[in-house]
Amino acid sequence: MGESKEVLLFIDNLIKKFGKKLILDRINLTINNGEFFGIVGLSGSGKTTLLNILVGFWDPTIGKITYDGKDIKKNRNFYKAKFGFATQAGSVYPKLTVEENLRYFGRLFNMRGEDIKIRTEILLDLVELTGANKVLADELSTGMQRRLDIACALIHNPKILIMDEPTEDLDPVLRKELLGLLRKINDEGMTIIMTSHILNDLETVCDRIAILHNGYVIDVDSPDGLKDKYSKNEEIHLTSSPGNYESILKKLEKADISKSVIKRNRMILYTPKSEKLLNLLLKVLSASKERIVNLKVTKPSMEEVFEAVTKR
Amino acid sequence: MLGFMKKKETRVYKERDSSNQREKKDFEALRISGKLKPKAWFQFIIKLFNLIMKNYKLMIRSKTSALIFFFGPLLIVFLLGIGFNNSSLNGINIATYSDSYSPLSESLMGNLSDNQFNIIKTNSEDACVNSVKFESNHICLVFPGNMVLDNTGNNNIDIYVDNSRLNLANQITEKLASKVSLKSSELSFGMVSQILGAVDEINKEAVSGATYLEGMENNYKTSKSKVVSTLSDFDTFDLDYSILDMNPALNEVEDVRETENLSDTDVKGIIDELNNIKLSYNSLAGKLDEASSQLGDMESSVTSLAGSIDSNKANIDALKVGNTKIKTTINTIKITNVDSIVSPIGTVIKPLSLKKNYLIYTFPTLLVLLIMFVSLLMSSISIIREKKSMAYFRNFITPTFEGWFLIGQFLTDISIIFVQLVIILGVASIFLTDLPWQVYIIGGSILLLLASIFILIGLILGYMFNSEESVTTGAVSVGLVFLLFSNAILPVESLTGFLRGMVFYNPFVLGESILKRLILFETNFSSIFEPLYLLLIWFGVVLIGAIVVKVTSRRLRSSYH
């Protein structure tokens, strides 16, 4: 996590309309230097539009974005170089090699050949593609392609790396690897703005998360802050044998349970009074001759928070 | 700079050039400060080169694109070169029908039967016509039954052609007509030769008759003069005589006798002699009278002869007039050459260009056609592929003026066309040896200009459409419009007024016109100025159009994304 807290990017009352359709409504966001900032929202909530405006692909209808206190619209090309962008689909030429892709985009950022060579060497090392520099992009594995995309986004040494759903379509192992890489990049001081549907990913890496719903930012806070704010519940996860969860639930009718979910071989109970419920549950389990396989108490997940926020 | 990467970057700099440590240390600072920033124009060149190289790599590495855009046109020209490198039509099937073939119709068919035309006899006129309709044969000839040369004059041959194959129909009928016309001329030649021989004979006889008449006239003149002379000779004859009076002599004899007393006997002899003289005289006088009478008869005969001669003279004169008329009439026939009489007005089609094969005639059109479709399709599909590429978006978030992508794509496409043109014209120069090298240079430049126009149109289409299918349809449709409203398929003269006027501004027509002037007619450079100016105007218009569409399409895309 970056230590510096000075404001790097400020999105001020931004509105974006396509025709008469309002896509983004009075967005106000502050992103600090070195921060890992997450944006979460349903499909069509305006996440990608917001990112596209940040990188200068589209102009806002109303509002402004300042970088280091300066309006980026006034010198768009200069500020374009401050952003690196990696998309969920990957944004590289499949028929160019890893090195060619990096060189091509480096040139578009007005980089000198020597600088590109140095940056390429560093980035390939960083994203662990050193041995694959002569391989065509479409011959890389999915994880490697995603890492190449990040390398391309970083070739010009931007200040802010913007990631649009980077873990989408990745298996858990690759996702973990990629998040580790992003964390590593962020630890080096790079400001990262990332959107994702996978809330656990954001929760894992983000310093702060903005919840975007119907083009409007509902809230911005740290994952724990959001959890505290939007859910007083804790979660009790139970796996028992033989696992007569319906019967257990009946016996807990009088307990303070906000919500219960039975998923195959486990049951999740949401309660604002976890300690009291846990005592009761242990008694019921003993009486029901249920053998505890796994029992844990956790804070609410981001999914629950998101669900709670968007249902408001 | 990020700590991790910064350390690594510094290490790399150091490893790369240990001899310039100070410079290396300052490198980052200088670069960040902008002092090492390349000049704008240099950046522009580098970026363009970068864009073009990227486009080349993408095109070459996409095997289908490389095959279609690099080798496709060359293959087409190669096949056309092999296929049309001759000067005649081949394998033309002529269906024929006649109720009854005659030696004349057979002879005509024999005239047509050669390597170029295959004669196929059919059983009926319908079968003959249908065979053309169903394309098993190219043309149908229906000969009249028992076709002969006589005074009935029924020697018309019906020719059925498929006008939907306009170019072929025209060529076949032209060749067929020339062959039939040749046979017809042969026949006319024989007949006219016969007539002219007779006239010539008459002329000769008239000349010869004139000589005879001349002799006759001379004879007349001689005879006439002789008659006149004879008649005048008649006048010189004097057959007059006086009556011989013997009485004075007898009286003298009597006087002498009396004087001399001579007896009668003495004078009787004298008197008898005198009487005999008188008798003789009288007899002679009678003879003179007879001679005079006969002379008179002769004179009248000669006079009559003179009259007869004079009447012959009139006949001779009449004959002379007739003869002169014959000669004059024959002499009024100014054309005595059989060829000239058979074909009094000859039409010799002199092509403006005397080239050896069909390829050269179609070469300008083929070149323009090829360049048009390759340029339109290549540029439009390249843009769509770029738009569909995952990396398209990243291009726009770089500090690169959007027009550079357009210029980069344009230069990529035009350079590919340039290479293709060099190869095509290079190969063409092997076959078209009589064309001066200037034609290749100027023609090639014109084709590049034309390609530029079509590439820009293709770019416009590429920016307008969003799928490869729609842009291909669009590019082919635009190409077809240019093609259909040109001379390549139908003559532009068949168009109505307004469209006809517009056609002459069609870049396809302009390009084709310039190349024809250069390649076929080998006219001088100044003659192509007008269409060249129009092409330059086209270039300017489509360039502006491409920029406008490029900018607008992004706005539209962003508006409806």
Minimum mean pLDDT range among A48-62, A65-79, B299-313, B345-359: B345-359
pLDDT in the model for residue B16: 46
> How many Cα atoms are found within 13 Å in the side-chain-facing hemisphere of A29?
32
Nearest Cα to Cα of residue B149 among B123, B204, B187: B187
The H or E element containing residue A25 is strand A21-32
User: Are B47 and B39 contacting, i.e. CB atoms less than 8 angstroms apart?
Assistant: no
d(CA B322, CA B338): 27
- Domain-embedded: residue B13: no
DSSP conformation letters of B121-173:
E-SSHHHHHHHHHTTSSSEEEEEPTT---STT---PPEEEE-TTSHHHHHHHH
Q: Are residues B309 and B442 in the same domain?
A: no
Are B376 and B401 members of one domain? Answer: yes
Q: Is B202 within 8 Å of B330 (Cβ atoms)?
A: yes
Is the pLDDT higher at B80 or at B348? B80
Which band of pLDDT confidence, cut at 50, 70 and 90, is reported for residue B18?
Answer: very low
C-alpha torsion angle, residues B323, B329, B332, B335 (rounded to 10):
-100
Q: pLDDT (tens digit, 9 = 90+) per residue, B240-256?
A: 888 878 888 888 888 88
Question: CATH number for the domain including B124?
Answer: 3.40.120
How far is it, in rounded angstroms, from Cα B536 to Cα B541?
A: 9
Q: Does residue B171 form part of some domain? A: no
B33 in contact with A at a CB cutoff of 8 Å? no
Q: Which CATH architecture has domain A7-228?
A: 3-Layer(aba) Sandwich (3.40)
Average pLDDT, chain A: 87
B556 and B417 inside one domain: yes
B172-193 pLDDT per residue, tens: 677 667 766 776 777 778 888 8
Helix, strand, coil shares, percent, chain B, to 5: 75, 5, 20
Mean pLDDT of B71-83: 71
Same domain? For B420 and B384 the reply is yes
Predicted local distance difference test score (pLDDT) of residue A171? 82
Residues B512 and B487 sit within 8 Å (Cβ to Cβ): yes
**Strand A266-271 and strand B117-121: pairing?**
unpaired
User: What residues of B are in contact with residue A104 (Cβ under 8 Å)?
Assistant: 50, 54
Mean pLDDT of chain B: 79
Q: Is the distance from CB of B482 to CB of B450 less than 8 angstroms?
A: no
Q: Where are the alpha helices (DSSP H) in A36-89?
A: 47-54, 76-80
Domain end point (choices B311, B341, B371)? B341
Please give the pLDDT value at position B376.
93
Q: What is the pLDDT of residue B257?
A: 81
Q: How far is A130 from chain B (nearest CA, A)?
A: 14
Using a CB-CB cut-off of 8 Å, the residues of chain A touching B64 are none
Q: Which residue of B has its CA nearest to A110?
A: B43
Is the Cβ of B350 closer than 8 Å to some Cβ of chain A?
Answer: no
| Tokens coding B502 | 């517009």
Is residue B439 in some structural domain? yes
B450 and B533 inside one domain: yes
A244, containing H or E segment: none
CA–CA min distance B8, chain A (Å): 7
Could you read off the pLDDT of A245-271 as tens digits, one per residue? Answer: 988 988 888 888 888 888 878 898 888
Which residue, B144, B162, B180, sits at the end of a domain?
A: B162
Domain extent for B241 = 191-341
Looking at the predicted complex, does its ipTM rise above 0.85?
no
B173 in a structural domain: no
Q: Is the pLDDT of residue B20 over 60?
A: no
- Do B101 and B63 lie in one domain? The reply is no
Instruction: Report pLDDT digits (tens) over A141-192.
Output: 888 888 899 899 999 989 999 998 888 777 888 888 888 989 988 998 899 9
Residues of chain B with C-beta less than 8 angstroms from the C-beta of A100: 54, 57
- Residue that is written with structure tokens 């309309």 in the block: A17
CA distance A46 to A73: 20
Output the six-digit token pair for B244.
């011989």
pLDDT score at B408: 92
Length reported for chain B? 561
What average pLDDT does range B539-548 have in this prediction?
A: 93
Q: Are residues B76 and B96 in the same domain?
A: no
Residue A196 corresponds to which tokens in the numbers above?
Answer: 């994702």
Higher per-residue pLDDT: B487 or B324? B324
- Say whether both B479 and B396 belong to one domain: yes
Cα–Cα distance between B464 and B280 in angstroms, integer? 153
Do residue B278 and residue B394 come from a single domain? Answer: no
Are B410 and B528 part of one and the same domain?
A: yes
Q: Does A30 touch chain B (CB under 8 A)?
A: no
Query: What single string gives the DSSP state of each residue in B327-346?
Result: HHHHHH-----HHHHHSSS-
The whole-number average pLDDT for the span B202-213 is 84
Q: Model's pTM, two decimal places? A: 0.67
**pLDDT range class, residue B558, cuts 50, 70, 90:** very low
Among B341, B366, B400, the domain-final residue is: B341
Specify if B5 maps to a domain.
no
Say whether B61 and A136 touch across the interface (CB within 8 A): yes
Read off the pLDDT of each residue in B462-491 and give the average, rounded to a whole number. Answer: 87
Per-residue model confidence (pLDDT) at position A30: 93
Report how many domains make up chain B. Answer: 3
In a domain, B294, yes or no: yes
pLDDT in tens, B122-166: 999 899 988 888 877 888 888 888 777 666 656 778 888 877 765
| Cβ atoms A97, A136 nearer than 8 A | yes
Calpha distance B396→B391 (Å, rounded): 9
Chain B interface, best mutation among A21, A87, A93, A119, by max B CB count within 10 A = A93
Confidence of residue A96 (pLDDT cuts 50, 70, 90): very high
- The whole-number pLDDT of residue B169 equals 65
Burial of A44 (0-12, 13-18, 19+ CB in 10 A): exposed
Cβ pairs A/B, distance under 8 A: 109
Confidence of residue B82 (pLDDT cuts 50, 70, 90): low
Cα dihedral B519/B522/B523/B526 (nearest 10): 60
Same-domain pairing of B309 and B416: no
Note the pLDDT of residue B30. 46
Identity of residue B240: D
Q: Do A100 and B54 touch (CB under 8 A)?
A: yes
A59: DSSP letter: -
Q: List phi, psi (to 5°) of B7.
A: -60, -45
Whether the bond between B491 and the residue before it is cis, its omega within 30 degrees of 0, is: no
Residue B468 phi/psi, 5-degree rounding, is: -65, -35
For residue B55, tell me if it sits in a domain.
yes
Q: B312: pLDDT confidence band, cut at 50, 70 and 90?
A: confident
Is residue A10 pLDDT above 90, yes or no? yes
Domain range summary for chain A, segments of one domain joined by +: 7-228, 231-310
Alpha carbon of A160 to those of A89, A116, A129, B98: distances in Å?
A: 19, 19, 22, 92
Pick the CATH number of A231-310 from 3.30.360.10, 3.40.50.10300, 3.30.70.980, 3.40.47.10: 3.30.70.980
Q: What value, to the nearest 5°, has the Cα angle with vertex B148 and ends B145 and B150? A: 125
Measured CA to CA, the distance from residue B23 to residue B17 in angstroms comes to: 9
Place of tokens 């390649």: B519
Are B372 and B446 contained in the same domain? yes
Whether the per-residue pLDDT at A100 is higher than 50: the answer is yes
